[in-house]
Amino acid sequence: PHALSIQNLTKTYKNGFEALKGIDLQVEPGDFYALLGPNGAGKSTTISIVASLVNKSGGSVSIFGHDLDKDLYAAKRCLGLVPQEFNFNVFEPVEEIVVNQAGYYGIPRKEAWKRAEKYLVELGLWDKRKGMARLLSGGMKRRLMIARALVHEPRLLILDEPTAGVDIEIRRSMWTFLREINRQGCTIILTTHYLEEAESLCRNIGIIDHGRIIENTTMKGLLNQL
């Protein structure tokens, strides 16, 4: 199956605003895919629906063949999400945020600590593990969100503007990390409005504008058009 398949997805918010007007999108296993588009285009809405944080109005979504309407639990297990807003408890120690997330997926305590260690080390947060999350810098908080999203070892990782507001040095190290987990087999989708970020990381792209996909191509194809 596709890593992600979206068919004729629509979303009208309660205030009547039509944010998505029929999105069709397929992402293949192993891909590193960028969803590009200006602010307000519908990127976050699309991602929030895929992560079942927001209800869709119409259409269908499946993750590795698991339809969100029929097989939500299995679909969720395949997905790791890094949303734009920090949504962890800032008064909790860093390591517990990661370990507790593993608990939600029924991962045994010992295994959870092992994985937390692995990701905290890889993301450069090991020295900070005992401190409260509020003590982390913005870039560190972003990396904590990534560690937390990976602890159940999802086959698909979706990141919403992962490096927004992160300085260039940290951004580069995050890129290196994401490339490595993609190389190890994790399918990655990210939204960005930095073309440079998509260019550096992604093989395939979709461009969304006013709630519609207006272009679906390879990164190379896009660059040849510019």
Q: Where are the beta strands (DSSP E) in the chain?
A: 4-12, 18-27, 32-36, 58-63, 66-67, 79-82, 156-160, 187-192, 204-209, 212-218
Q: How many CA atoms lie within 13 A of 51 on its CB side?
A: 20
Spatial separation of the C-alpha atoms in residues 182 and 201, rounded to whole Å: 10
Q: How far is the CB of 57 from ligand ADP (least distance, A)?
A: 8
- Which residues are CB-contacts of 117 (< 8 A; sequence separation ≥ 6)? 126
- Tell me: does residue 190 bind ligand ADP (CB under 6 A): no
Taking residues 33 to 52 in sequence order and writing x for each that binds ligand ADP by CB under 6 A, - otherwise, the string is ----x-xxxxxxx-------
> Helix, strand, or coil here: 188?
strand
Q: How far is the CB of 111 from ligand ADP (least distance, A)?
A: 35
User: Residue 99 or residue 149: which is nearer to ligand ADP going by CB?
Assistant: 149
Q: How far is the CB of 129 from ligand ADP (least distance, A)?
A: 32
**Residues binding ligand ADP: number (CB under 6 A):** 15
Show contacts with ligand ADP in window 109-138 (CB under 6 A).
none
- Tell me: does residue 17 bind ligand ADP (CB under 6 A): yes
Give residues in contact with ligand ADP (CB under 6 A): 13-15, 17, 19, 37, 39-45, 54-55
